Amino acid sequence: MNIELRLLKSFQMVADHLNFRRAAEELNLTQPALSRQIQQLEEEIGKPLFDRDKRSVKLTHAGRFLYGRVAELLNDVEALVKETREAANGERGALALGYTESAMASFLPSLLRSLRQRLPKVLLQLKQEHSEQLAREVSLQRLDAAIISLVGNVHGITSTPIATEAMGIVLPDNHPLTVKKEISLLSLAKENFILFPYQVNPGLFSNIMSSCQNAGFVPKIIEEAQSRILAVNMVAAGLGVTFLSENLAYYCGQGTVFKPLKNPKPLMQYYLVEPANGENPCVVELKKILKL
Amino acid sequence: MNIELRLLKSFQMVADHLNFRRAAEELNLTQPALSRQIQQLEEEIGKPLFDRDKRSVKLTHAGRFLYGRVAELLNDVEALVKETREAANGERGALALGYTESAMASFLPSLLRSLRQRLPKVLLQLKQEHSEQLAREVSLQRLDAAIISLVGNVHGITSTPIATEAMGIVLPDNHPLTVKKEISLLSLAKENFILFPYQVNPGLFSNIMSSCQNAGFVPKIIEEAQSRILAVNMVAAGLGVTFLSENLAYYCGQGTVFKPLKNPKPLMQYYLVEPANGENPCVVELKKILKL
DNA sequence: ATTCATTGATGCATTAAATTTATCACAAAA
DNA sequence: TTTTGTGATAAATTTAATGCATCAATGAAT
């Protein structure tokens, strides 16, 4: 079997016009060339597709059958090519994207919204995990990319900083420091701190610890809260104070007050990590949205 | 867009092997030719489909996408060609076939059985009508063929005799002639005849009338029965006698006896009619079954 | 380290294929 | 009858695809 799409397209055109000359003209061919093509197609089929009785061209039974189906087939081919182009451009396909809870709590929702808008045909496969686990999965190419807040020494990945969030402090509303506009780290030296467990966000945890050490004290951690809301509630209950990134200040409700910190202050750094040899074009588009 | 199936087949082969030389060998091509084909395909898509990193060939994102779909497409093409061949051979498609009640009462069921067996993919569109109407519909190409028992002077159709059925006579079982083995037409000259209406089967009606006239009498028709069964029942009731083709003798039940006629006797002739320029290959197959 | 084998890409010549040109035979219309 | 329009055909030409020889790059074997 050696049928080429060119033959099928020509067949369709002849069947549309039932006239070789006009069909040839529309195909930008000469009539003899078109005749040859149809002959070739008929030879492959084994039987005539047209009845040419010296004055008119009509479809045979087999020709009618083929005509009824060829349009769909040609459509399929065109669609396949178009969709492959889209896949090459990252407009189509799947994007397995990892993210941390903290990313989802801050800028990720709006990022995902942009992504959906820009790449509506891309299937998003999201996975929430801790930074370290995400980095590992990216290196194994189980994920096409991930947004994490720690860059460890995982091999086979490249990472790019994408966002920095300054940390502030959440105080109980009866705390004396609430009168201040900004608070220095050192003034918190004697406070009881409520923090998240180390493994939830090792990057931020280390950053906070070293910031405090640079300020001249070691924070007294009295409690580990599993979530930000819980930590804030603990502050409201008067158990201590907790760090919270500035753009999440609205978490603070009754009984607590959010205050920015003076520089130098702990920073939460987000990174986009991807496989070193990664080539999912959806990631390229994602980076465009992130203006990288 | 100028993609040919050859390119897609080559792409598939390379993707199967992830090795240009082996793929080329299997395609009966040289490796450079295959490289060129893939380059051409990649140019049409606009992006690479393979990652050739000097020692291994891997599919890109777009390549994987295409690979996942190209098999189905190539299958569709092959199926379309195969089915078109079948359509050309009459093994596929539709056959609009007309028939008379009397044909259905005799040989048509077994013929249809053979047809279904031989052309299982052909959609049979059956229509029962009187012979004259069928001939008209065939001439209008509303039917691909019809089995009738009269050939009038309808233009644009060709007809071929396909079966002859000798007529016998159905007598009430108390009739004196039942002692005979065969009955001559003339001996029925004084009988009351039950016949079907002229328009139900004009061919047979005329045939019977002229046979009787040749035998030397004009049959006295006392009743017109709408169906064979009804006619036989009327015979059983003693109203008269009726003609019945020999292969339908089993219709005669209690109170009636079937007797063959001596020659010359009325004959029922069946014809296959088709459009003069008809080219439905299913009809060709039908004629093969009929050994024409 | 060096050689060797294997990979896909490239330049050029060759072959194969498709197309154009010019023409024919036929049929319907003027 | 002539003209016009149809598709088919033969030969020439152009175009495209392929084969051949070779290269550079890589990894394995020595």
Report pLDDT for A264.
Answer: 85
Question: Nearest Cβ partner of B80 from A51, A69, A80?
Answer: A69
Taken in order of first residue, the domains within chain A and their CATH numbers are 5-89 (1.10.10.10), 92-161+269-289 (3.40.190.10), 163-268 (3.40.190.10)
**Whole-angstrom Cα distance, residue B132 to residue B153?**
10
Report pLDDT for A292.
Answer: 79
The backbone torsions φ and ψ at residue B50, rounded to the nearest 5 degrees and listed phi first, read -125, 145
- Cβ distance A85 to B46 less than 8 Å, yes or no, reads yes
Q: Which two tokens stand for residue B126?
A: 């059956």
**Whole-angstrom Cα distance, residue A22 to residue A203?**
72
Q: What are the DSSP E strand ranges found in B42-120?
A: 50-52, 57-59, 92-99
> Which nucleotide comes closest to B39 if you measure CA to C1'?
C9
pLDDT less than 50: residues of chain A: none
Report pLDDT for B36.
Answer: 95
**Whole-angstrom Cα distance, residue B206 to residue A275?**
91
Residue nearest to nucleotide C25 (CA to C1'): A54
Question: Nearest Cβ partner of B60 from A5, A48, A279?
Answer: A279
The contact set of A with B (CB < 8 A) is 1, 3-6, 44-48, 51, 60-62, 65-66, 69-70, 73, 76-78, 80-81, 83-85, 87-90, 92-93, 279-282
- Cβ distance B80 to A87 less than 8 Å, yes or no, reads no
**Whole-angstrom Cα distance, residue B239 to residue B235?**
6
A57 membership: H or E segment, kind and range: strand A57-59
Distance, CA of B54 to C1' of C3, in Å: 19
Distance from the Cα of B124 to chain A's closest Cα (Å) equals 15
CB B125 within 8 A of CB B94: yes
Residues at the strand C interface (Cβ < 7 Å): A 4, 6, 28-33, 36-37, 40, 54-55; B 18-22, 31-32, 35-36, 38-39, 52, 54-55, 57
Residue nearest to nucleotide C22 (CA to C1'): A32
For residue A84, the chain B residues in CB contact (below 8 A) are: 45, 62, 65-66, 69
CB A24 within 8 A of CB B98: no
Which residue intervals of B127-180 are DSSP H helices? 131-139
Q: Is A285 left (phi over 0), alpha (psi -120 to 50) or beta?
A: alpha
Distance, CA of A2 to C1' of C9, in Å: 28
State the burial class of residue B170 (Cβ atoms within 10 Å of its Cβ: 0-12, 13-18, 19+). Answer: buried
**Whole-angstrom Cα distance, residue B204 to residue A114?**
82
For residue B84, the chain A residues in CB contact (below 8 A) are: 45, 62, 65-66, 69
A 10 A CB-CB count for A285 gives 18
Report pLDDT for A203.
Answer: 79
Residue with the two structure tokens 């074009």: A281
The backbone torsions φ and ψ at residue A174, rounded to the nearest 5 degrees and listed phi first, read -100, 15
Q: Residues 6-45, chain A: which have Cβ under 7 A from strand D?
A: 18-22, 31-32, 35-36, 38-39
3-class secondary structure, B6: helix
- Cβ distance A1 to B65 less than 8 Å, yes or no, reads no
Give the pLDDT band of residue B273 (cuts 50, 70, 90): very high
Report pLDDT for B276.
Answer: 84
Chain A with chain B: Cβ pairs closer than 8 A: 103
**Whole-angstrom Cα distance, residue B147 to residue B138?**
10
- Cβ distance A4 to B6 less than 8 Å, yes or no, reads yes
In this predicted structure, the answer to whether residue B54 has a pLDDT above a threshold of 80 is no
Residue-wise pLDDT for B180-229, tens only, equals 999 999 999 999 999 988 877 777 888 899 999 999 999 999 988 888 88
Q: What are the DSSP E strand ranges found in B153-283?
A: 157-172, 192-195, 220-224, 241-245, 256-260, 267-275
Residue-wise pLDDT for B113-153, tens only, equals 999 999 999 999 999 998 888 999 999 889 999 999 877 77
Question: Nearest Cβ partner of A1 from B1, B81, B280?
Answer: B81
Distance, CA of B41 to C1' of C11, in Å: 21
**DSSP state for residue A183 in the 8-state scheme:** B
List C-alpha distances in Å: A168 to A182, A209, A236, A247, A252: 9, 14, 16, 9, 11
Q: What's the whole-number mean pLDDT along residues B247-260? A: 88
Report pLDDT for B1.
Answer: 65
A236 membership: H or E segment, kind and range: helix A228-236
Question: Nearest Cβ partner of A81 from B3, B51, B93?
Answer: B3
Residue with the two structure tokens 């069928």: B134
Q: Which nucleotides of C are covered by protein (CB under 7 A)?
A: 6-11, 18-22, 26-28
> Which nucleotide comes closest to B37 if you measure CA to C1'?
D17
Q: Which of B84, B92, B144 to mutate to test the interface with A (most CBs of A within 10 A)?
A: B84
Instruction: Single out the residue of A197, A193, A186, A189 nearest to residue A171, CA to CA.
Output: A193
